[in-house]
Each structure stands twice: as structure tokens, then as C-alpha cells.
Amino acid sequence: MATPTVFEPYNSDLIVVRGADGALSRAPGARWADRLPTLLQGRIVQTFENAGLARQVVPQGEPAQYALSVDVRRFDIDAAKRQAVVEVTARLVAESGGRVVAAHVFSGAAPVAEIAGVAPAQALGDAFADVLSRLIPWAASLGRYPGT
């Protein structure tokens, strides 16, 4: 599974907060344990495994039908709505030829109690879990993917 594509301002270890005016800042006193793309990749693979779908992820270098490509559109706290918002585009790309055979946008949200400390990370984790609860079965129903 390739590392998810994550654009600025999400491509870091900062937790992003979107103000009511659309301005972006960081959650005070909160950081990811690693860069967000690395964390998301691990969580996606772990979710395949936890769902009993580890056979869908084949070891690196072995033949696979498709590559799962994930682009992060949003991964932030909406301060005005007091919720975590996650939106990703998932694509299944044929390993032979590179043609996109399926694509879908998945989004999820979760309430956030406060916009400081561990609450933003927990809420974003919950919103991402909601996304994965639909993304993983969708992807698993369509093929096998290269491993990490």
C-alpha cells in the first residue's frame, strides 16, 4: 500500500484547525506522533488486517491486481462546527497499465469536545475510523493490493 498523498497543510505532524473564516491554524498543545501520511498508511493496513482481510494486501514485489491509492482532501478540526472532518479519495489502479478501475470519495465526521490537548487527535481518529469502515470493504471487494 502506497503512502497516502497528503497535501499542505496536512503533510506534517501538526493537527490542523479550520476557523469559522476558513483560516487554518494548528491545535494548541497537540501533534501527531509522526507525519500524518505515515500514520494513515499504517492505520489503513492495520484496518485491513483487523477486518481479516490481510490476504488482500500482498507482500511487496508479489503480483497484485490493483494498487490502492488514497488522497487526503481534508483532515482537520472545523472550529465553527466543533467537529473533526476527514475526506479522502480512494482509487483502485490496475497494476498492469495503471488504469483507474474504480474511485470513490469517502468522508466522515466526529464531534470534538475541545480544540486543545488530545481531544482533536481523538476526534480525527474517530472520523478516520468512520471513513475506513466503508473504504476497506469497498476496496477489499475489488481486488488484491501490494503490501507496504
Neighbours of 26 (CB within 10 A): 17
Number of domains composing the chain: 1
Is 90 exceeded by the pLDDT of residue 1?
no
pTM: 0.87
Kindly report the CATH number assigned to the domain that includes residue 86.
3.40.50.10610
67-79: b (≥16 Cβ within 10 Å) or e: bbbbebbbbbbbb
Which residue would you say has higher pLDDT here, 105 or 93?
A: 105
Contact (CB, 8 A) for 73 and 87: yes
**Which residue's C-alpha cell is 497494476?**
95
Q: What domain range is 111 assigned to?
A: 5-146
Task: Return the pLDDT at 64.
Answer: 64
Is 60 exceeded by the pLDDT of residue 147?
no
**Model confidence over 7-63: pLDDT tens digits?**
889 999 999 999 999 999 999 888 999 999 999 999 998 888 888 766 555 555 566
Is 90 exceeded by the pLDDT of residue 65?
no
Which residues share a beta bridge with 69?
91
Torsion of CA 92, 94, 100, 103, to 10 degrees: -10
Q: How far is CA 5 from CA 69, 70, 72, in A?
A: 8, 6, 6
